Structure formats: structure tokens, C-alpha cells
């Protein structure tokens, strides 16, 4: 029995040694050994190295690429295990064109570039002139060690992006590791390209679009609270950590994410402090502030997203439900699971037309099926509208559109299109008089009977 144990231990060591021998140039072994820094720098380097290793092991565990026993012997994960098939590599990076700066933060810089196949992607790397590097160099005076420290953050982010697969997490298309010296690793993450989240711009979009952003955020937070790594908190939670891809919200900055709930000895240690409010969380028997990560994310969603995007110009019928959501999340009376339910309720009521019973409104209108207006003549403005020059809104039914039109003296007609918004509502233009009509099977024009509108068929 004992003999077999020794044998299998030896076998495992051999496998581990074999794995180590296939380290690609991209991974230096125990990189902190190359730096002759003071104690504090070495400690930090070791800490981040250990942290990254944990993320890499988690990733491989999820992918089931390497047997569990082998992983415990590994100090650094061979690159070939990290790569997923059909992802971009350094080779794709060589042929990239049209490089252009898009953004930078404390640690990283992001460029836009075009692949050989014509697709645009985002390239993320360590920001050599960023404040993270600057502060570190000022403190330790070692440029290459500081670069390594910052690179650990990017590597952790890359690992997390691979572990967390959700529509609300930016997609990693590939990664490139290049090293000119054992201590000098240049890492580039190749990501799905997004556009920055402009809150001011979002405030000018229809409520339905703003609700979509909040709903996508809630779904992301539900996933993060129940992720393969446990409950994950985004420690640095601000709109600038998110981008929009095809109108959908995605988190792009994950280097400040943590999968550990804070440790504690007493409830006092778990106080979750925000500028305007502090929440009390109980310290569990195992010495963790259980639930802290989920609460932190949810309150941040409330203060940075919901307060700005949710109540503003919401449909009257939804306002009580939304007020409830604001109240419950603002005081953390509910967790993310109940928040998901509350959003689903809102969505359900919204999709079902908010019990609209305005069919009688339609009696005043003549319907011209298969027509639309030619050009933008006769438009008037309303706010917030899907377009800037006119009044383009979503409606559940012609009856709802008629109700809107009846409440506005300048409105004489509306044109419903077959085109639907993400909730399935119909995009509808509201216009004054003087309509020039053209045939189009995907539209229906509704003209108010009372009063006259100068209609011309073109």
C-alpha cells in the first residue's frame, strides 16, 4: 500500500517535471526571483504570483484540461493549456492594422485595431506611462519590476475573462505573450471591441434602452454572485469599467475583481461603507463576511446606474414597481436573486402593454396599411426619442400610439413599423401634417380623421 503511494507520488512528480519542461518562452518560472527588490516589493510580487496561479488553476479546473493532482504540483501553468482553440494569437497581432488609441486607465491602455479579416478588436496592455507604473517606479525605482507587477493585474484579468463566461462579460478573443528577457513579459489581451458607456448620452435615450442597461447589469451581477469561483465583487465599480457592444452592457475591467469575501472576527469588521451609507453584515462562524460581495455590487449598481437610469421618464404604470426596486436595492433589503425577480416583473408588465385598454382611441383614425412617409417631412420633436430630429417611440399597440398622439395637439398621424425594440414593441413615428406617402409593406400609417391633414400620395 505504502509502496503504491510512493510510486504514484513519484509518477506525479515526473508529470509535473515534464509539464515544467514544456514551458513556453512566455512564462518565466517564479519571476520574482529575477528582481533584487526590497522586501516589500518582493512580497507584493510573490503575492500577485500566488494570486495569479490560483486563477490559472481555477481556469484549468473548469476546462478540465489538466488532472487535479498534476495541478497541485504546478508552479506556473504552461501556455498551451491556457489557449483555447480558435482564438487569436501573437500571429494575428503581427498583421493588425489601423491601430488607434481608445482609452486608458490607472493600469492599462486600450487600442483599437483591425485584423486581416477586416474585423476590429480592442487590444489591452500595460500602460507604461499610466499612474500605476508611475507611482510604483517612484516608490521602488525599478521600471521592469513595476512593469511585471502591473502585468500580473492584466494576466489575472485575462484569466478571469476566461473563467467567467457570460453575455455581460467582455469576450476575450485571444492573448499574446512575448518576452525579451526572463523578467520582461509583454502581454496583450485581444478583446471584443466596445464603446465607452456615456452616462450623459444614455440619459437622452428612451427609457426602454436605459432599462435594458440596468437589466443587463442585474443579470451580470446575478451571474457574478453565483459564479464558478463563488461570489465575485467588482471592487472598482464605476460606469467606466463597462462598455457597450451592439448596445449591450459588458464589463471590461476585471483586474479589481475579487472572489474572496472579506475576513472578520466580529460584525464590526464587516461594515460595508459607502460615502452616503454604511451597511452592517454579520461575521460568519468561519470568519467571513458572507454576502458582502453581492451586497457591494448591488448597492453600487443602485448608486451608479439605477438612480440615474431607472426612474427617469419611465412609463407611469411602471413607476410604483420601479420605486420599489429603488427602495429595496437602495437599502439592500433584497439580494440579487430578488432583484432579478423584480426586474422580470417589470419586464413582464411592460411587454404585456401595461394593461393598456385604449382601443377606443383608434376610432378616430383612418388606417393605410402598407404605406410609410417619404423622408422626414412633417416630423415634430419629442423627448426622449429614438431619433433626434423627430418623435420616434416604441408602442405596444396602435391603441397606445393613438393615446399618445391624442394627448399632443401637434400630432396628426403616426406610422407604425414592423421593426421591434428588444422587448418586442413596435417603433412608431409621430408626425404633424403634410405627409408624403410611399408604398412599403412594413409600415402602416394612421391618420387622424377629425381636422384635416394634407396627405399626398407620392
Ligand X SMILES: Nc1ncnc2c1ncn2[C@@H]1O[C@H](COP(=O)(O)OP(=O)(O)OP(=O)(O)O)[C@@H](O)[C@H]1O
Residues found near ligand X in the complex (CB under 6 A): 102-108, 110, 122, 124, 170, 191-194, 196, 236, 240-241, 243, 252-253, 255
| Cα dihedral across residues 111, 300, 130, 82: positive or negative | negative
Q: Is 269 in the site for ligand NAG (CB under 6 A)?
A: no
CB of 7 to ligand X, least distance (A): 48
CB atoms within 10 A of CB 372: 20
Q: Is 440 in the site for ligand NAG (CB under 6 A)?
A: yes
CA trace torsion 309, 315, 321, 326 (10° rounding): 20
By three-state DSSP, how is residue 35 classified? coil
Each residue 331-370 as x (binds ligand NAG by CB under 6 A) or -, in order, gives: x---x-x-----------x-----x---------------
- Assess contact for 71 and 61: CB atoms under 8 A: yes
155 phi and psi, to 5 degrees? -65, -40
Annotated catalytic residue, options 51, 142, 184, 236: 236
Give the residue, chosen from 135, 438, 449, 454, that forms a contact with ligand NAG under the rule CB under 6 A.
Answer: 438
Rounded-to-integer distance, Cα 141 and Cα 36, Å: 12
CB of 73 to ligand NAG, least distance (A): 33
Residue nearer to ligand NAG on the CB measure, 130 or 390: 390
Each residue 398-427 as x (binds ligand NAG by CB under 6 A) or -, in order, gives: --------------------x---------
CB of 436 to ligand NAG, least distance (A): 6
Give the residue, chosen from 38, 89, 204, 280, that forms a contact with ligand NAG under the rule CB under 6 A.
Answer: 280
Cell digits of residue 51: 494570486
Contacts 24+ apart (CB under 8 A), 354-358: 354/315, 354/317, 354/318, 354/396, 355/317, 356/396, 356/397, 356/399, 356/400, 356/403, 358/399, 358/400, 358/402, 358/403
Residue nearer to ligand NAG on the CB measure, 338 or 364: 338
- The residue assigned the cell 479546473 is 61
By three-state DSSP, how is residue 393 classified? strand
Window contacting ligand NAG (CB under 6 A); options: 30-38, 361-369, 391-399, 435-443? 435-443
Give the residue, chosen from 33, 178, 317, 367, that forms a contact with ligand NAG under the rule CB under 6 A.
Answer: 317
Residue nearer to ligand X on the CB measure, 152 or 365: 152
Contacts 24+ apart (CB under 8 A), 345-348: 345/321, 346/211, 346/318, 346/321, 346/322, 347/211, 347/215, 347/423
CB of 279 to ligand NAG, least distance (A): 6
- Whether 364 is a known active-site residue: answer no
Cell digits of residue 88: 487569436
**Residue 337 interface partner, choices ligand X, ligand NAG, none, CB cut-off 5-8 Å depending on type:** ligand NAG
Establish how many alpha carbons lie within 13 A of residue 297's alpha carbon, considering only the half-sphere containing its beta carbon: 29
Give the residue, chosen from 442, 449, 452, 454, that forms a contact with ligand NAG under the rule CB under 6 A.
Answer: 442
Establish how many alpha carbons lie within 13 A of residue 91's alpha carbon, considering only the half-sphere containing its beta carbon: 3
Binding residues vs ligand NAG (CB under 6 A): 226, 280, 317, 326-327, 330-331, 335, 337, 349, 355, 374-375, 418, 436, 438, 440-442, 458
Residues serving a catalytic function are 236
Amino acid at each position: 500500500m505504502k509502496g503504491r503511494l510512493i510510486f504514484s507520488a513519484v509518477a506525479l512528480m515526473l508529470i509535473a517535471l515534464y509539464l515544467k519542461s514544456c514551458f513556453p518562452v512566455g512564462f518565466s518560472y517564479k519571476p520574482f526571483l529575477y528582481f533584487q527588490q526590497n522586501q516589500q516589493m518582493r512580497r507584493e510580487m510573490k503575492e500577485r504570483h500566488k494570486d495569479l496561479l490560483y486563477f490559472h488553476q481555477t481556469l484549468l479546473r473548469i476546462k478540465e484540461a489538466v488532472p487535479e493532482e498534476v495541478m497541485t504540483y504546478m508552479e506556473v501553468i504552461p501556455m498551451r493549456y491556457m489557449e483555447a482553440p480558435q482564438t487569436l494569437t501573437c500571429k494575428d497581432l503581427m498583421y493588425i492594422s489601423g491601430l488607434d488609441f481608445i482609452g486608458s486607465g490607472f493600469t492599462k491602455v486600450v487600442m483599437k485595431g483591425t485584423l486581416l479579416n477586416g474585423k476590429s478588436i480592442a487590444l489591452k496592455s500595460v500602460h507604461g506611462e499610466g499612474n500605476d507604473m508611475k507611482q510604483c517606479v517612484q516608490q521602488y525605482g525599478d521600471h521592469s519590476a513595476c512593469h511585471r507587477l502591473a502585468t500580473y493585474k492584466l494576466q489575472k484579468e485575462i484569466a478571469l475573462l476566461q473563467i467567467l463566461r457570460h453575455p455581460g462579460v467582455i469576450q476575450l478573443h485571444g492573448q499574446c505573450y512575448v518576452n525579451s528577457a526572463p523578467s520582461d513579459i509583454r502581454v496583450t489581451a485581444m478583446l471584443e471591441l466596445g464603446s465607452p458607456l456615456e452616462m450623459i448620452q444614455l440619459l437622452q435615450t428612451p427609457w426602454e434602452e436605459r432599462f435594458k442597461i440596468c437589466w443587463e447589469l442585474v443579470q451580470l451581477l446575478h451571474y457574478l454572485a453565483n459564479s464558478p469561483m463563488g461570489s465575485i465583487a467588482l471592487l472598482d465599480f464605476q460606469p467606466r469599467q463597462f462598455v457597450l457592444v451592439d448596445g449591450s452592457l459588458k464589463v471590461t475591467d476585471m483586474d479589481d475583481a475579487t472572489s474572496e469575501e472579506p475576513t472578520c472576527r466580529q460584525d464590526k469588521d464587516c461594515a460595508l461603507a459607502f460615502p452616503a451609507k454604511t451597511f452592517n453584515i454579520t461575521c460568519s462562524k468561519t470568519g467571513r463576511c458572507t454576502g458582502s460581495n453581492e451586497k457591494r455590487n448591488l448597492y453600487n449598481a443602485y448608486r451608479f446606474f439605477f438612480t440615474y437610469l431607472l426612474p427617469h421618464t419611465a412609463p407611469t404604470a411602471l413607476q410604483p414597481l420601479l420605486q420599489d426596486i429603488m427602495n429595496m436595492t437602495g437599502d439592500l433589503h433584497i439580494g440579487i436573486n430578488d432583484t432579478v425577480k423584480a426586474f422580470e416583473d417589470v419586464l413582464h408588465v411592460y411587454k404585456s402593454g401595461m394593461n393598456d385598454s385604449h382601443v377606443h382611441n383608434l376610432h378616430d383614425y383612418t388606417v393605410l396599411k402598407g404605406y410609410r412617409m417619404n423622408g422626414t417631412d412633417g416630423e415634430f420633436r419629442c423627448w426622449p426619442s429614438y431619433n433626434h430630429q423627430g418623435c420616434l417611440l416604441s408602442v405596444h399597440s396602435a391603441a397606445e400610439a393613438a393615446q399618445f398622439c391624442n394627448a399632443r395637439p401637434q400630432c396628426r398621424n403616426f406610422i407604425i413599423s414592423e421593426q421591434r425594440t428588444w422587448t418586442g414593441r413596435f417603433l412608431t413615428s409621430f408626425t404633424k401634417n403634410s405627409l408624403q406617402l410611399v408604398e412599403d409593406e412594413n409600415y402602416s400609417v394612421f391618420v387622424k380623421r377629425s381636422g384635416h391633414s394634407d396627405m399626398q400620395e407620392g
